[in-house]
Amino acid sequence: MKKRKFGLVLTSVLAASAILGACGTKDDEKPAKENDKASGGESTEEAFSVAMVTDVGGVDDKSFNQSAWEGVQAYGKEHGLSKGDGGFDYLQSASDADYETNLNNLVRRDFNLVFGIGFMMADAIDAVASENPDNHFALIDAEVEADNVVNVLFKEQEGAFLAGVAAAKTSKTGKIGFVGGVDIPVINRFHAGFVEGAKAVNPDIEIQVKYTGAFDKADLGKITANSMYSSGVDVIFHAAGATGNGVFSEAKERKAKDPNADVWVIGVDADQYEEGKVDDKTNVTLTSMLKGVNTAVVDISNRAKNGDFPGGETLVYGLAEDGVKLADSRGAIPEDVQKVIDEYKEKIAKGEIKVPEKVEK
């Protein structure tokens, strides 16, 4: 299987995101056709339809799945499509048993391109793609060997390295934490990068690590955060999908109870600044490690629409491709610390620093 880097242009999605509020039209609307003739309304080209299947985190996880769905909506808006058959859509998975069923459902509904969101979708994509060789699929965060599947990976360890630098430089107690979801390679990359970045600026930093085993259990995230903060941790980076919402809940409760409490959360995948809002003046979000899932979805959808579907390839997005980065901290990170982060970012992008994908034990 071919594997290569694929550049991202995140600014295109920033523009698209401004109009996402107009998306989400009624399911019973007729799908729009592209390039309609001004007279008679006849279509010269069938719409290229795109849909996705979420993992168990759900489409509103404020993280990974939500970012992918924003990309699908942006693509649909760009091409004048409506939500539903012939346009764009999603199906949500309540458990891993739903993956194949949902993928097959979208195939039967004749979507031109179907995305499987998350590492946990690999087996289902592999099975459904092999049974439907004439259909096109895209798999996020995992790889399968199939000519009708494009695999999309990110160098999470590079963005997480910068999150580790931010956490270690911000911590006053010398104790920081990492809350992961399921113990799988993609989350291991977040873990490894975070540890590497933190130790790069403070070799003596204490890092507590806990994998909750779930991406959809906010209560587990809250319990874990409570334990960490109670032990002196003052910055937690989560890579746990909707489970991470519980980390924010715990931090906000502590900050609301004691405005002088030093508790911070580093969000993941999407900008989670709003998730950390305590009141109009207080926010516990230090920054967020962004993954360009939305941009990748738009890019691949447009390539497939234009007859350039990269089936059988693995596209890899890192710092050099602007595929991962830290969100604007809104002043939470001091200028001197931001300068250090930027210096490491440049070194990683240039290849001067190679960030490991696994924690060296």
- What type of residue is 305? K
pLDDT at 14 over 90: no
Of 169, 230, 179, 231, the closest CA to residue 205 belongs to 169
Query: What letter does residue 22 receive in the DSSP assignment?
Result: G
Structure tokens at 213: 């085993």
Say what the pTM is: 0.82
What end-to-end distance do the CA atoms of the chain give, in Å? 30
- Alpha carbon separation from 150 to 26, 128, 140, 204 (Å, rounded): 30, 14, 9, 42
Question: Which alpha helices (H) appear in 178-312, and where do they start and end?
Answer: 185-201, 218-230, 244-257, 293-305
Predicted confidence band at 46 (pLDDT cuts at 50, 70, 90)?
A: confident
Question: Rounded to an integer, what distance in angstroms lies between the CA atom of residue 233 and that of residue 183?
Answer: 22
Question: Rounded to an integer, what distance in angstroms lies between the CA atom of residue 311 and that of residue 114?
Answer: 13
Determine the pLDDT at residue 2. 52
pLDDT at 247 over 50: yes
Question: Rounded to an integer, what distance in angstroms lies between the CA atom of residue 179 and that of residue 85?
Answer: 38
Q: Domains of the chain, with CATH numbers?
A: 2-154+292-317 (3.40.50.2300), 156-290+331-349 (3.40.50.2300)
Determine the pLDDT at residue 33. 40
**What is the maximum alpha-carbon separation in the chain?**
72
| Those residues with Cβ within 8 angstroms of residue 8's Cβ, 6 or more apart along the chain or in another chain | 292, 295, 296, 299, 317, 321, 322, 323
**Over the stretch 150-188, which tens digit does the pLDDT of each residue have?**
999 999 999 999 999 999 999 999 999 999 999 999 999
Question: Rounded to an integer, what distance in angstroms lies between the CA atom of residue 132 and that of residue 143?
Answer: 17
Predicted confidence band at 31 (pLDDT cuts at 50, 70, 90)?
A: very low
Query: What letter does residue 321 receive in the DSSP assignment?
Result: T
**Over the stretch 283-339, which tens digit does the pLDDT of each residue have?**
999 999 999 999 999 999 999 999 999 999 999 999 998 899 999 999 999 999 999
